[in-house]
Structures are given as C-alpha cells and as structure tokens.
Structure 1
Amino acid sequence: MAQSHKGAAPSNGWTDTATTSTDTNRFSALDQRSRPSSDDARNPYFLTHSDHSGANLVPKILIGGENYSSWKHSMTVALLARNKLKFINGKILQPEPDDDDYDAWSRCNSMVISWILHVVSIDIANSIMYLDVVSTIWYELHDCFHQNNGPRVFEVKRSMQVLTQGRNNVQMYFTHLKCLWDSV
C-alpha cells in the first residue's frame, strides 16, 4: 500500500488543500479550492436571505442577571445554527483592513452585533452599542451578568428553598425548579 506524504498530491488526482495549505486553521471566504461552491453554508461568512439586521434570534430579551443564563444559551444555539458562533467566541479574529476577508468579516461582525442589540434591553443596548467587535460585546455581557456572583447565587438558592408546588401541576413545578437550578 502506497503511503501519502504531507505536501504530496493524492493519487486520485484531486488537490488536497488540507495538506498543501500552510495554515490549515484559517478559512478564507475567497478560497474556493477548499470547499465546493454548493457548500456555502459551511463558510462562516455566509449569510442567508433570512439573515437580516432586524432578525430576532431568540424569544427573550436580556434584561440582566436574572435571565442571562437562559438568554445566553438561546443565543448560543441560534448563532451555532447560523454558523456564527466563532464570531462571539473569538475564534474568527478581525483581519487586517487590507486582508481579502476584511469586508466579509466586517459584514458578519456587524450583523451579529445587530442581532444582539435587538434582543437586549434598551439600557443594556446603550451600554454596548459603541463596541465595534462582537466578541468584545459577548465578553462584556458575560462579565456583567454571569451567575457566579455571590448575591445572585444566594438569591436563586433561596428561591429554590421556598418554592412550593401550590396550584401548579407537577410538570409546571418541576419546570420552574429546573429553570432555577439551571440558572445557578
């Protein structure tokens, strides 16, 4: 059996861009050799017709620490579905202005910022609207509202201790208890 060496062309006649590229972790919106044109949705710079700046990605508005955990989870799922999670977690860094990907990055970064601004309260939006990089906004929101602050954890645990089923059926009671538990 013939062994393949890194950098050598595969025997099937196709160019293996993963072995010939010098930077295999970098994705270029303009590099069509690595992905077929019909597979655009895998490109993190790809936007669909439904991806517009006024889209509300999640049903809840972030109002503060009391709903940050569920809002963050909903936003993460929505951004993952749109292949934009790498913009908020910093895995796709801002290219230099003369880079071929700068315009595509700028467009997607601005789109994700717009999506976030539409699903946060007016007060929160005012505090983040002048930040230019979506990953910075994401980390600011995390620092501000993450549940690891002592008073909030105490408040949630206290709510769980005094929670009673009351007139709720078991499913409603369990759902409320689970929501409190997940927010800790």
Structure 2
Amino acid sequence: MESKDTIIMPDQPVTMGQLLQLFSQLNTNKPPPPPSETSTSTTTISIPTFSISEKLTHQNYTMWSRLMQLALSGRDRLNHIIADPPPQTDQEYSQWTRRDSVVISWIIESIHPDLVNQFIDFPIAKTLWKGIETVYSSGGDGLQIFDLTVKANKIEQRTDTLEKYYSNLITLWKEIDRRQPNPMKDPEDKVIYNQLTQKNRLYQFLAGVNETFDKERRDLLLQDPLPTAEEAYAFIRREIMRRGIMKKEPSSEVDSSGSGGVFAVRGRSKKSYRKNDDRSHLQCTHCGGMRHTKSECFKLVGYPDWWPDTRKKGAKMAGQLSDQPRSGRAAVVSSTKSDENMAAMVKYSKEDEGNREKQKSEKMGRRK
C-alpha cells in the first residue's frame, strides 16, 4: 500500500506542479527547532576586548584614571563607577550585575600585576574605583596644590621646544584643576572664575617663553580682550614657522649672473657688505685696496648707491693716476697712498708756479 505522502509515480513523468507540491510538503513537515535554540540571545552578554595604553602604578594615577574614564564612557559603562547600583528587587538587577562584573574585570586587567591583590575583593565597580582613588589620589591636599602651583609659576622654556614647554604646563594645570575644581555654584560666577584662571595661565605661559619672543609677548598682552593661553601658544607657534620659512628663502644680495663672482651688487647695504663676510685677507691687485679683489673693485664694476659722491670722485682720480704707465718694477699703491701722491703733486705744482713768478719779477728788476 502506497504511502499517502507519495506523489511521484515510478512509471509517470514528473510535472512542475508535483515539484512545487513536494517543496511545500517539505517545508510543512520541517521539525521545530530544539528548545535550547529558542530566543535566549536577549540575555546573552558578550564581553568585548578592553585595553588602554597605561596600567595603574604608584606614579600614574591621574593619567590612568582619565584614560579609564574615556574608555568606559566609550562603551557606555561610565555609570558603573559613578552611580549607585539599582535595588535588588529591580527586574534589571540581574543584567546590571553581569555588566558590572565585566567592568570590574576591565579595571583589574588595567592594574599592574603587583597591585592587583589589594583590589581583587571589591564587590562592585563603584567601590573598586573609590578604593583606588583613596589609595593613589592626593585629592585636595593643600601641599600638593601648592607644589604644583609653584612649578607652574617657575617653569621656563629654555632649551625645550615650544610644544614641549606648553605640554608640560598643560600637565601641571590639569593636575591643579583635578585637585582644585571650580568652587563656584552660580553659572555666572563659574564663568568669571574660569576667565580669571585663564588670565593667570596666560601670564604663566608668556613669562616662561624665551626672550626671542619679546615682541610677540608684548603684542599679545596689548590685545583687548586678552587671548587665552592656548591662543597665545598658537600665535607664537605660527611666528616660529614664519621665521623658519624666512630663513630658507634665498638671499637677493647674491649675484646670480656668475660673472667673475662680483660681490659688490648695486643697492646692497654697506652694513651687510662688511658684516656677513670675512674679507680681511683679500687685497685688490688693481687699486691696492684691502678686503676685495680686482673682480670686485668698485673702480672697475661701478660704485653702489650708498657710496658717497666725494669718495667716488677721489677714488676715481686716484684710479686714473694708478692707471698711468710706469717704467721698471710695477708698484702696488693703495687708494690712500694715491690720494697723498695727488696732494703732493698739487703742492709741488703750486711751488713751481711761485718760483716762476719770483724769477720773472727778478728779471724785470734787472732790466730796469
């Protein structure tokens, strides 16, 4: 006797309708899932990985606690260390307990192994957090606040970069704020208190920067309203970058023509000509002058605009005298010596003229 579920006959072709009927019966006769696979996922808690860059030691509580708060807040578990647990009669208490156990495991894993034993027995995350704070936080200790304030007032940049100097100040300021938070209650009073604090920190920052930024310091203190310490830091940092760019720019005083290495470029200041180069060992073979060569001699390449007209004329005449042909050994005569020779020649010329007048007078007297 054939089964009632048998549809396909051995001696007959299978039609599309029979196939569809077969698939329908397979879906209908599918056994239900076992009870263990029912919707229990709503109560399943997955434990994500948790890691911060610092493990709690005797010296780094401030940084560690801040990193832990950020990490817990990012996982929506910050309330486990700052809020009280729900009552045990609450229907969510069981799930809260499981989540709190996860937070405790995160905190324990972030403590140095040498310190774990003293914190392993706390029942909930909030009491564990409070216990760590009691042991390693100085709280509002007046001595600690005094020491931090003295350090903030005395710190200076010196050989540090501006970034490192400002980072050190920020660390001290954050320690002070944690131990001495804003005590005001009224919102307006809180704003005034914060403004006064920012002004004092601006003075601390500017007092410690190097003297090379005196101009920037004055400009910042003359602003109304005064900038914050952060704005002052950004202002001086931009100035440092500007100076670095200016140092890299090529000098416009260098002769780019390459003709004989001419040093004396028109328009160049006399101050930069003498200050930037050690030329005491040079001597010109044309005029005999010091501190330059023949290819740089003003008598050959021209005089700059800052050269006095009187000196131009005198040097020109001396150059003309020195250019006259000479017999025998060639002598190197300085421009100063040439001026003296020129003056002597004028003197001798006047004396010769006087002698000629005297002789003429004597002849006239003899004739009479």
Counterpart check, 1:87 vs 2:80: yes
Could you tell me which amino acid in structure 2 is paired with residue 138 of structure 1? W
- Structure 1's 101 and 108: CA in aligned 2 closer, same or farther, altered over 3 A? same
Structure whose CA Rg is larger: 2
Q: Is the 8 A contact 1:70 1:183 kept in 2?
A: no
Summarize deviations over 1:67-98 as a string: whole Å, max 9, x none: 3333222221211111101111124x1542x7
Q: Is the 8 A contact 1:88 1:135 kept in 2?
A: yes
The answer to whether 1:142 aligns with 2:133 is: yes
TM-score for the superposition, normalised by structure 2: 0.32
Q: Which runs of 4+ in 1 moved over 4 A?
A: 45-49
- Equivalent residue in structure 1 for 2:121, among 117, 120, 130: 130
Percentage of identical aligned residues: 24
Aligned mates of 2:171, 2:121 — CA distance in 1? 32
Structure with the larger helix share: 2
Pick one of 47, 54, 74 that aligns with 1:60: 54
Question: Against the structure 1 CA distance between its residues 131 and 173, is the aligned structure 2 distance closer, same or farther, given a 3 Å change threshold?
Answer: same
* Cα 1:104/1:163, change in 2 over 3 Å: same
* Cα deviation, residue 99, structure 1: 5.0
Name the SS of the counterpart of 1:61 in structure 2: coil
Alignment counterpart, residue 183 of structure 1, candidates 165, 175, 193: 175
Are residue 114 (structure 1) and residue 105 (structure 2) matched?
Answer: yes
- 1:48 deviates by 5.5
Cα separation, partners in 2 of 1:183 and 1:48, compared to 1, 3 Å: farther
Tell me the distance in 2 between the aligned counterparts of 1:81 and 1:48.
16
CA contact (8 A) 2:138 2:144 kept: no
**Residues 165 and 47 of structure 1, relative CA distance in 2, 3 Å threshold:** farther
Displacement of 1:105: 1.7
Matching residue of 1:172:
164
- Alpha carbons of structure 1 residues 47 and 181: separation in structure 2 relative to 1, 3 Å: farther
**Contact persistence 1:95–1:101 (CA under 8 A):** no
How far does the alpha carbon of each residue in 1:126-159 deviate from its partner, in whole angstroms, 9 at most, with x for none?
2211111111111222233143123332332343
Provide closer, same or farther for how the CA distance between residues 151 and 127 of structure 1 changes in structure 2, counting only shifts above 3 A.
farther
Q: CA 1:81–1:146 in 2, change beyond 3 Å: closer, same or farther?
A: farther
Residue range with higher mean Cα deviation, 82-91 or 102-111: 102-111
C-alpha deviation, 1:107, in angstroms = 1.7
State whether residues 57 and 111 of structure 2, in contact with CA within 8 Å, keep that contact through their aligned partners in structure 1: yes
Q: Is the 8 A contact 1:165 1:173 kept in 2?
A: yes
| Letter in structure 2 aligned against 1:176 | N
Name the aligned partner's letter for residue 113 of structure 2.
I
1:109 counterpart letter in structure 2: D
Q: CA RMSD in A?
A: 2.8
Query: Structure 2 unaligned runs (5+)?
Result: 1-41, 177-368
One-letter code of the match for 1:166?
Answer: R
Query: Aligned residues, how many?
Result: 134
Q: TM-score, normalised by structure 1?
A: 0.60
> Structure 1: which 5+ runs fail to align?
1-39
Alpha-carbon distance between aligned partners in 1 of 2:167 and 2:154, rounded to the nearest angstrom: 15
